[in-house]
Amino acid sequence: MKVIDLRSDTVTLPTPEMRRAMAEAEVGDDVWGEDPTVNRLEAMAAERLGKESALFTASGTMSNLLAVLTWCRRGDEIVLGDQSHMCLNEVGGASALGGVAYHPIPNDEGGCLRPEDVERAIRWENIHFPRTALVCLENTHNRCGGAVLTPQDTRAVAEVAHRRGIPVHLDGARIFNAAVYLGIPVAELAKDADSVCFCLSKGLACPVGSLLCGSKEFIKEARRWRKAVGGGMRQVGVLAAAGIVALEKMVDRLAEDHENARRLAKGLAGIPGIRLDPERVQTNIVIFRWTGGPVQEFLARLAEGGVLASYIGGDQVRMVTHYGITAQDIGDALESVERVARRMVGAGA
Ligand code: TLP
């Protein structure tokens, strides 16, 4: 039985071209700055994102953590969305490892923060308060169904933060999906952020890696923090080589994943027990509510039929399209989901 794995775009496997590039990569000791392949990837990333410098890290979580450690001191506070990955899914790293408090404010349905909420959340000088040291955004927004922030959305928040002298970090794990959706250069989406990270190991299909981008001074400091958290890697050009292939070859094809996600969402919307508005799906993430019985049973039955999806709390299920999923897989997955849904809804009626 073929398994259609829609749990995440992190399950993507490296392309044959990536494997070849990895095998042939020229390498050196990156802690000494001597890995030519890493240096090339970092230069490419900085150039694409329109920043002075970039740092190759082990994961999106590490990039976000390094941004917090670099911008903040112990006892400071970060303002971020209550549905953001940094808030919900990064093991509380900012506070556990950086002594930095989280100040979550509501994300709207489109993954944005309202500038007036950001303004209100920023502390004024008072001996009782932590200092607000960073405002964080996420684009695309994972928990808000892959929603895209426009350059204007980012600018509106950055204007408030910058007026108060506070930098903005953008978790752009899937920022290339946003750029492809909007049909604009990724640098436009990063322009108003002081630091930005993106992942190679999601839709871009690399086995490992993320890049943190910002000013020369910021990256120099983030590089020290990367070493401190044990993230200084040595002949890591073997991984960076895949990243170079990803940036050159894997960005434009994200449009296919978006097309597949739209087809998936439209099909799901017609299945009994499933609630979602397919018009809201912009990129490669589809989140829906399952109202036809226990959600864990629904997921277990889907898995028995060869369709893997993930549970994200309440009655919500997430499906993500990616390089490993074809248009044919979408049709097959929809048939399987419909079969399970009809049985469960029929049994409950
Ligand atoms: N997201 C993963 C899980 O952790 C939920 C996924 O399957 O979507 N920022 C955003 C917006 C992310 O979605 C993720 C990963 C990260 C950061 C962290 O990246 P990694 O997994 O490389 O640490």
Within 10 Å of residue 204's Cβ, how many Cβ atoms? 28
* Rounded-to-integer distance, Cα 148 and Cα 184, Å: 12
* Rounded-to-integer distance, Cα 158 and Cα 315, Å: 34
* Rounded-to-integer distance, Cα 299 and Cα 309, Å: 7
Average pLDDT over residues 156-185: 98
**pLDDT tops 90 at residue 1:** no
Please tell me whether residues 336 and 222 are part of one structural domain. Answer: no
The pLDDT value given to residue 288 = 98
Average pLDDT over residues 297-319: 98
Please tell me whether residues 129 and 35 are part of one structural domain. Answer: yes
Average pLDDT over residues 286-301: 97
Pocket lining: 5 vs ligand 1, CB cutoff 6 Å: no
Please tell me whether residues 93 and 121 are part of one structural domain. Answer: yes
> pLDDT of 217-230, one tens digit each?
999 999 999 999 99
> Is residue 171 one of the residues assigned to a domain?
yes
The pLDDT value given to residue 347 = 77
Average pLDDT over residues 188-200: 98
The pLDDT value given to residue 162 = 98
Which protein residue has the closest C-alpha to ligand 1 atom 6? 8
Nearest CA-CA partner of 105 in 152, 67, 151, 157: 157
> Is residue 4 one of the residues assigned to a domain?
no
Please tell me whether residues 203 and 319 are part of one structural domain. Answer: no
Please tell me whether residues 296 and 258 are part of one structural domain. Answer: yes
CA of 199 to the centre of ligand 1 (A): 8
**Domain boundary residue, one of 215, 230, 249:** 249
The pLDDT value given to residue 186 = 98
Of 59, 66, 83, 85, the residue with max ligand 1 atoms within 8 A of its CB, to mutate for a pocket test, comes to 85
**pLDDT tops 70 at residue 159:** yes
> pLDDT of 263-288, one tens digit each?
999 999 999 999 999 999 999 999 99
Please tell me whether residues 136 and 96 are part of one structural domain. Answer: yes
Pocket lining: 210 vs ligand 1, CB cutoff 6 Å: yes
Please tell me whether residues 335 and 187 are part of one structural domain. Answer: no
> pLDDT of 105-126, one tens digit each?
999 999 999 999 999 999 999 9
Three-state secondary-structure class, residue 255: helix
> Is residue 145 one of the residues assigned to a domain?
yes
Pocket lining: 284 vs ligand 1, CB cutoff 6 Å: no
Pocket lining: 12 vs ligand 1, CB cutoff 6 Å: no
The pLDDT value given to residue 172 = 98
Pocket lining: 171 vs ligand 1, CB cutoff 6 Å: yes
The pLDDT value given to residue 322 = 98
- Index of the ligand 1 atom closest to the CA of residue 84: 11
Within 10 Å of residue 251's Cβ, how many Cβ atoms? 17
CA of 154 to the centre of ligand 1 (A): 20
The pLDDT value given to residue 349 = 56
Please tell me whether residues 219 and 290 are part of one structural domain. Answer: no
- Index of the ligand 1 atom closest to the CA of residue 140: 11
CA of 335 to the centre of ligand 1 (A): 29
Please tell me whether residues 40 and 105 are part of one structural domain. Answer: yes
Tell me the pairing of strands 274-275 and 285-290: antiparallel
CA of 227 to the centre of ligand 1 (A): 22
Please tell me whether residues 235 and 284 are part of one structural domain. Answer: no
For the chain, how many structural domains are there in total? 2
Which protein residue has the closest C-alpha to ligand 1 atom 7? 8
**Domain boundary residue, one of 249, 277, 311:** 249
> Is residue 258 one of the residues assigned to a domain?
yes
Of 12, 59, 202, the residue with max ligand 1 atoms within 8 A of its CB, to mutate for a pocket test, comes to 202
Average pLDDT over residues 300-321: 98
* Rounded-to-integer distance, Cα 123 and Cα 129, Å: 7
- Index of the ligand 1 atom closest to the CA of residue 310: 7
Q: For residue 117, give the CATH number of its domain.
A: 3.40.640.10
**Domain boundary residue, one of 249, 269, 298:** 249
Q: For residue 267, give the CATH number of its domain.
A: 3.90.1150.10
3-state helix/strand/coil string of 24-85: HCCCCCHHHCCCHHHHHHHHHHHHHHCCCEEEEECCHHHHHHHHHHHHCCCCCEEEEECCCH
Pocket lining: 70 vs ligand 1, CB cutoff 6 Å: no
> Is residue 195 one of the residues assigned to a domain?
yes
- Index of the ligand 1 atom closest to the CA of residue 62: 23
Of the pLDDT bands very low, low, confident and very high (cuts 50, 70, 90), residue 8 is very high
CA of 61 to the centre of ligand 1 (A): 7
**Would you call the peptide bond into 140 cis, given omega within 30 degrees of 0 as the criterion?**
yes
Please tell me whether residues 271 and 239 are part of one structural domain. Answer: no
> Is residue 42 one of the residues assigned to a domain?
yes
Pocket lining: 138 vs ligand 1, CB cutoff 6 Å: yes
Please tell me whether residues 124 and 216 are part of one structural domain. Answer: yes
* Rounded-to-integer distance, Cα 72 and Cα 86, Å: 15
> Is residue 5 one of the residues assigned to a domain?
no
Give the list of residues 6+ apart from residue 303 with CB closer than 8 angstroms, or none: none
CA of 83 to the centre of ligand 1 (A): 13
Range of the domain at 137: 13-249
- Index of the ligand 1 atom closest to the CA of residue 58: 22
Q: Which two tokens stand for residue 158?
A: 């950055």
> Is residue 156 one of the residues assigned to a domain?
yes
The pLDDT value given to residue 300 = 98
DSSP state of 300: H
- Index of the ligand 1 atom closest to the CA of residue 89: 4
